[in-house]
Amino acid sequence: MVMKSNATGIYLPNGGFVRFAETAPKQGKQIATRATAAGISNVGSALPNPDPVLRKLGKSIQAYRDLRSDGHVGGCIRRRKAAVKSLQSGLDRNLEPSRHADDITDILADLDMGRIVSEILDAPLYGYQPLEVVWGKVGNYIVPVDVIGKPAEWYFFDQQNRLRFKSKSAGQDGELLPERSHLLPRQDASYDNPYGVPDLARCFWPTKFKQGGIDFWFKFVEKYGTPWLVGKAPRSTPDHEIDSLLDMLEAMVQDAVAVIPDDASVEIVEAGGKSSSADVFEKFLMHLRSEVSIALLGQNQTTEADTTNASAQAGQDVSADIRDADAGLVAATINQLIGWIAELNFNDAPPVFSFWEPESVDKTLAERDAILKNAGANLTRQYFKRAYQLQDDDIGEAPAQGVNTPFAFAEGQPNSYPDQEAIDAAVGGLSNVLLNDQASDLLTPVITAMQRGQSEAEMLGLLAEAYPHMNDDALVNTLTNMLFIADTWGRLSANANRID
């Protein structure tokens, strides 16, 4: 009797089917590791740094640290770090504030965050940067009292990609570090390369070639930049006299004086046609400088003298991406520290630390709004929130000082004097409403010009255009009549009082 089967089970003679037991995948265990991979040497626990520059040189990361003494490399590093430090930072931006956000803020305020951020930013330069966390008890909390960046060459990774310290007492296997003892920011780290990718590796050879090229350039300048002194002597002059004349010319190059026989002559010859050779050296050195700028800043448009403003602006956009990546690395490292603090002291989710670019206020828009406000325009809270990206609690309530009515003349007292009633009757029933209407008609072109103008110069030009169209006759006549009647009534009242 033949029983049929397939990869999933077997068919029984009675028509039944028995499925093979499915093997569940192993949980929490890797299959492909350095210990099981063929052709991988597992001698010792230390995993060597696969950086190609350090392997060829047989040196440690100290070789990269020495590059920072170069003026161009050091300047690019300072600029790159300053780009991150110029950003604003804080906890729970655009999020619901955490319960312990204030506590975390106070804990971070006790640390030297400027130095810590700068040390974290060494990770992109060397690939990785260990920072030791020193814990202490402050009040009822266990908090980091200091975070110290340690030299990266003091540490190495083992075959399981775990960080170990090169301790004197631990031998070549190193000391496995305890939990929450070290922060480890890394750039582009992977299983194959847990040490990360250092940006200074891209700067090593250009900087070394530049330093060697400058030595050759100095020799070239010394050789072809100084005029040549050519001594001429008769053909029958003995060799010892020619040698003596040569010594006098060498001394003349330094002292500018010499004594030569009267039958000899000295000619000064300028080196000509060597400018093109000097340009080759300069272009070579500038190319090496550009390589360093591109490696550290992502562009060379803002570091070279022959760039335009448009190309420099485009280059800043590229370097902004690198700045954001560095800021993200710093934020992730600080958030890991905050998470440890929350695990040791709190039971809820920790706050989130982040960087963001400061929002600039449009100066032209702010000046225009100030002019409109002074002219009487009523700008609403909704407008300020929309125009300047403000939140509800960013705008406080204005103090109650009464409502200012634009172009409004003073209202009469509730109990007017008899003389005032007589003047109002003599004017012919002129009221404040009429005066306000006339003033509004007169100033309408002014308000229109301010609303249309984008700058002060444009507003002045629009006001000059609108001035011939302003009709102030009605308002002037009304005010003239009122002043005349008031003056006349005052004189009559004074004479009546003297008669009485």
Lowest mean pLDDT: which of 83-87, 329-333, 340-344, 464-468?
Answer: 464-468
d(CA 449, CA 151): 65
Task: Give the per-residue pLDDT at 104.
Answer: 93
Predicted local distance difference test score (pLDDT) of residue 407: 47
* CA distance linking residue 127 with residue 374, whole number of Å: 57
pLDDT at 270: 55
pLDDT for position 393: 64
Averaged pLDDT for residues 465-486: 63
pLDDT at position 381: 74
Better-predicted residue by pLDDT, 251 or 46: 46
What pLDDT shows up at residue 212?
A: 75
User: Whose CA is closest to 157, among 127, 119, 202?
Assistant: 127
Most confident option among 72-81, 88-97, 250-259, 293-302: 72-81
How confident is the model at residue 113, as a pLDDT?
95
pLDDT at 98: 85
pLDDT: which is higher, 485 or 183: 183
The whole-number pLDDT of residue 456 equals 64
- What mean pLDDT comes out for the span 376-393? 71
Strands laid side by side in the 182-183 sheet: 141-149, 131-138, 182-183
Whole-number pLDDT of residue 390: 67
Q: Which residue would you say has higher pLDDT here, 200 or 212?
A: 200
Please indicate whether residue 454 or residue 59 has the higher confidence score (pLDDT): 59
For 9, list phi and psi in degrees, rounded to 5.
Answer: 180, -165
pLDDT of residue 273: 53
Residue 382's pLDDT band (boundaries 50, 70, 90)?
A: confident
Pairwise CA distance, residues 235 & 293, whole Å = 58
| Helices 309-345 and 101-109, axial angle in degrees (round to 10) | 110
pLDDT of the residue at 457? 65
pLDDT of residue 110 exceeding 90, the answer is yes
Nearest residue to 115 via CA among 330, 350, 355, 352? 330
Least confident residue range of 84-98, 120-134, 289-303:
289-303
pLDDT band at 392 (very low <50, low <70, confident <90, very high): low
Is the model's pLDDT at 406 over the cut of 70? no
Mean of the pLDDT values across residues 193-222? 81
Q: What is the pTM of this model?
A: 0.60
CA distances from 204 to 54, 98, 185, 386 (A): 10, 45, 22, 50
pLDDT band at 266 (very low <50, low <70, confident <90, very high): low
User: Which one has a higher pLDDT value, 229 or 335?
Assistant: 335
Rounded Cα distance between 441 and 457, Å, is 24
Residue 409: its pLDDT value, please? 47
Share of the chain above pLDDT 70, in %: 56
- Region of poorest pLDDT, from 38-42, 107-111, 465-469: 465-469
C-alpha atoms less than 13 angstroms from C-alpha of 58 in its C-beta half-sphere: 0
The average pLDDT across 37-58 equals 81
Mean pLDDT computed over 363-371: 76
CA-nearest of 209, 183, 372 to 286 is: 209
| Strongest mean pLDDT among 180-189, 266-275, 294-303 | 180-189
What pLDDT was estimated at residue 264? 64
Ranges 18-22, 120-124, 343-347, 415-419: which has the least confidence: 415-419
Residue 170 to residue 173: CA distance in whole angstroms: 6
Most confidently predicted of 13-17, 197-201, 269-273, 408-412: 197-201
Average pLDDT of the segment spanning 123-130: 96
pLDDT in tens, 409-461: 445 444 544 555 555 555 555 555 555 665 666 566 666 666 665 566 666 66
Mean pLDDT of 124-134: 96
For residue 364, the model assigns a pLDDT of 72
- Tens digit of pLDDT for each residue in 155-203? 999 988 999 999 988 888 899 999 999 999 999 999 999 999 999 999 9
Averaged confidence pLDDT in the chain: 76
Radius of gyration of the chain (CA): 42
Alpha helices in 189-308 (DSSP H): 201-224, 239-255, 275-297
Q: Which residues pair with 92 in a beta bridge?
A: none
Q: For residue 312, what pLDDT is reported?
A: 52
Does the pLDDT value for residue 257 go beyond 90? no
